[in-house]
Amino acid sequence: MKKIIPLLLLLAGHIIQAQEIELDPITVTATLSQKRSSETGRNITIIKGENFKNLPVHSLDELLRYVPGVEIQARGPMGSQSDIVLRGGTYQQVLVILDGMRLNDPNTGHFNSYIPIAPAEIDRIEILKGASSAIYGADAVGGVIYVFTKTFTAKQDQDIATANAGISAGEYGYLNADAGMFYSKKNFSISGGFITNNADGVQQRGIKGYFHNTTASVSAKYYFNPKWDIAYRYAYDNRNFAAQNFYTTYSFDTATEKVASHWQQLSVGFHTQKHELKFDIGFKHVNDNFMFTPASSANSNISKLYQALLQYQNELSTKTTLIAGFNYQQKIIRSNDRGNHDLFLASPFVSLSHQLIRNLYIHPSFQWVIFRNIPSEIVPQLDISYKNKNLQLRGSVGKTIRDADFTERYNNYNKPVVKSGSIGNPDLKAERSVSYEAGADLFVKTYLKISATFFQRFHQRLIDYSTTPYSEMPRKENLIPTGTYALAKNIASVNTTGFETDIQYTHHFSEQHRLSGSLGLLWLDSKSSDSVPSFYISSHAKFLTNFSVIYQFKDLAVSINGLYKKRKEQIASSINATITPDYFVMNTKAEYFFLHRSLIVFAELDNVFNRQYSDLLGAIMPGRWFIGGIKFQWNKKKK
């Protein structure tokens, strides 16, 4: 390992950012309006959707795993289940957005990586690191994952038609199929696609695991005239997988889980040269069925999320843009384990983008988040950016908040007897924190960008689970004195300090010869006031580096991605499981193009060095894995 890391650093000097990121792209995630990344005061990474098919990845959480600064804590492969972590937060502290609508599940943050969109529909993914609650409200503590799709971002009078399909197979009985299309002409755009990953021979502890994960989506957009448009999407997402030791370290855990999601959203927009008005509504329905052992009764949870977002943008002058809006959410759960509950959240907000002087931009934002049954929170934030020639300086300070999900409040709350496990706490208060960051970006000509950011987050009342004796449990109605429990608590304070470096490179030597890559380095340290270590705040990496590389010459393309993670060691002797102090994994893929690049044959090797590892204690990840397949693609673009 000591030899590998310097090699990666040397390699990064020449090949950085396989996601082929523009070095100073147009973004909307940081300010809600179209701005150059260098004008926002924030560290933003943008991935083109088409790169999903170029890299050795099989699901959206795997794609995010190799983005600089993003930590994915995977319980299973290829979309089975993953926790998204940004800047050392917990898995509930990252907000996931799809075309303006929030996806975070009311039941549990473990489902937030189930993004209900086929990869073929994705235009780009923007990753905003750091505090964002003043712009997006609750949950945007560690950052935001924002997915933009081709249809919802389509412009009027485009003339584009694309289609793709592929099938692949490999060890462990693996079978994948995916397809997609996008068509846009004059006033109408439509896209759709699906992806399915299946395997039935993945080794778990003493048993063979399995997964059957499928996502399908379709969307359409219509321009009534240059000012008015309407867009609609429906998506279905189904995950059926062996979940042994995903949530416990018990030796008798042979869990299985099925999570089926339905997603609908509607967007109506009005646009003029200086004004924009958008109204979006979304509905998410999730049916979760969890079976701990074949002999146990299943946990059946149905969660629903209704939301509406009204947003108005006014370009007051060439230097000033005002955005104001109102967000409403209704969260519902019906569960034999957690009971039946509902709550609402409402939040008016306002944000201003202003150029003070040449190359100096400020972005003050303010949101008032109103919860049901708990005190409301006022959330301010200020972002500043200055760019002169090839150097950008940026800074940000802001408050963030997060309310507990239904699992944190009511897990195991409705069962007759609970002998052990995680216990919810209805009396949890909303988290709050203050974050600041300062960073710089160096642009070297048109092909290299080096970014460095120092950040700190001072958290109060952070919600996490920690081992709690029976005598200290606040509610004992269905507990037993000899039980072993982990209670969801508000920890008095947790302070996180970190430093991240992102290096991005992309270079086209000619039309058929290109090289691109990325490297991210992240150092983190978290200190808690609780003498008993909590579960998730102590699980994040202390040091993380992840990288991606794509090299293409004529009809041959080779891609590599990988990561090295250093973290706290953990041991569960009951199941002979360990979290090793560090691990390194790497995947590689080779493609050859035929028939004017419309037909592709590829071979892929995941976990090249056959490293045995887990991101979370007891959840074993696969070893070396060979996959091969064939793909078809067709493109027609006139404008």
171/626 Cα distance (integer angstroms): 6
Span 245-259, mean pLDDT?
91
> Residue 638's pLDDT is what?
56
Mean pLDDT across the chain, nearest whole number? 91
Cβ partners under 8 Å of residue 477, min gap 6: none
Is 369 within 8 Å of 343 (Cβ atoms)? no
Span 542-562, mean pLDDT?
94
How confident is the model over 390-418, as pLDDT tens digits? 899 999 999 999 999 999 999 999 999 99
587/231 Cα distance (integer angstroms): 38
Residue 20 pLDDT > 60: no
Length of the chain: 639
| Continuous H helices in 283-326 | none
8/20 Cα distance (integer angstroms): 18
What are the structural domain ranges in the chain? 4-637
Give the type of residue at 10: L
Residue 238 pLDDT > 70: yes
pLDDT band at 303 (very low <50, low <70, confident <90, very high): very high
CB burial of 545-582 (b: ≥16 within 10 Å; e: otherwise) equals: bbbbbbbbeeeebebbbbbbbbbeebebeebebbbeee
How confident is the model over 151-181, as pLDDT tens digits? 999 999 989 999 999 999 999 999 999 999 9
Q: From its phi and psi, is residue 53 left (phi > 0), alpha (psi between -120 and 50) or beta?
A: alpha
> Residue 510's pLDDT is what?
85
Of the chain, the percentage scoring pLDDT greater than 70 comes to 96
14/529 Cα distance (integer angstroms): 43
Residue with the two structure tokens 């080794």: 203
Span 540-548, mean pLDDT?
95
169/77 Cα distance (integer angstroms): 15
From residue 248, alpha-carbon distances to 79, 413, 485, 613, 617 in Å are: 20, 17, 11, 17, 8
Residue 333 pLDDT > 80: yes
Could you tell me the two tokens for 451? 């970014």
How confident is the model over 111-141, as pLDDT tens digits? 999 999 999 999 999 999 999 999 999 999 9
pLDDT band at 6 (very low <50, low <70, confident <90, very high): very low
Homologous superfamily assigned to 4-637: TonB-dependent receptor, beta-barrel domain (2.40.170.20)
pTM score of the predicted model: 0.93
147/209 Cα distance (integer angstroms): 30
